[in-house]
């Protein structure tokens, strides 16, 4: 309780020091201007992503800070090399395109799946059994932090790529597609931006896990 009170008091002290207005993105807690690269938090009560300066982010790092309402988004990137999902397995997830992300929603107590499109993120009517059948072969998926880390999968004709990413990166991809998609197939700009996004994710993936061989 003392640690929780200290965290809340520290945040309240920061909030009292709001700066004068300035253009660009700002911390959703204290209002200071932020650079292009900055930290994020999940507001678990409102189920939304908030931008955060580093001091406010660090205030929320201790478990139980602010009564557990805000959860810092970590910065782990891991590529699952050799990951593959068959057409029948993918169809069982009820995801109509070859792009989706999965994460554990602590409020619902289950894994949920979303796929991006021109209108934003659409939730799949995910069968827990279908996802569990796939995830059971990858122990690393059990290390994901609820609400703040996601499994991101891209299926293409030339192969499938799978990553563990911070949840804000999954929603960044959603925003990228929503703002660039044109026509039925997305257009060249959207395809190029998606390729660049996954190239960036690949570069950030310092850790790599090899998928088990299924015999």
How much is the pLDDT for 33?
Answer: 94
What is the separation, in whole angstroms, between the first and last Cα of the chain? Answer: 51
Number of Cβ within a 10 Å radius of residue 118: 14
Which distant-in-sequence residues (6+ apart) come within 8 Å of 78 by Cβ? 140, 163, 164, 205, 207, 208, 209
| pLDDT of 52 above 90 | yes
Q: Using an 8 Å Cβ cutoff, are 110 and 103 in contact?
A: no
Which of 100, 136, 117 is CA-nearest to residue 181?
117
- Taking all residues of the chain, what is their mean pLDDT, rounded to a whole number? 84
- Range 199-211 average pLDDT: 80
Per DSSP, the three-state class of 182 is: strand
pTM: 0.81
């Amino acid at each position: 309780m003392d640690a929780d009170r200290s965290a809340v008091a520290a945040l309240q002290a920061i909030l009292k020091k709001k700066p004068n207005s300035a253009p660009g993105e700002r911390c959703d807690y204290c209002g200071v201007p932020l650079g292009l690269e900055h930290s994020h938090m999940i507001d678990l009560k409102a189920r939304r992503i908030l931008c955060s300066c580093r001091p406010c982010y660090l205030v929320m790092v201790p478990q139980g800070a602010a009564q557990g309402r805000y959860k810092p988004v970590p910065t782990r990137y891991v590529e699952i090399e050799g990951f593959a999902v068959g057409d029948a397995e993918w169809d069982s997830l009820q995801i109509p395109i070859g792009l989706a992300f999965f994460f554990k929603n602590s409020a619902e107590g289950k894994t949920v799946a979303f796929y991006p499109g021109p209108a934003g993120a659409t939730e799949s009517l995910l069968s827990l059994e279908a996802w569990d059948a796939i995830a059971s072969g990858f122990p690393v998926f059990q290390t994901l932090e609820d609400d703040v880390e996601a499994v991101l999968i891209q299926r293409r004709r030339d192969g499938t790529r799978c990553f563990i990413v911070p949840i804000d990166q999954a929603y960044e991809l959603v925003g990228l597609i929503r703002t660039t998609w044109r026509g039925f197939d997305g257009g060249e700009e959207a395809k190029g931006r998606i390729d660049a996004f996954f190239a960036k994710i690949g570069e950030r993936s310092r850790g790599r896990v090899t998928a088990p061989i299924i015999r």
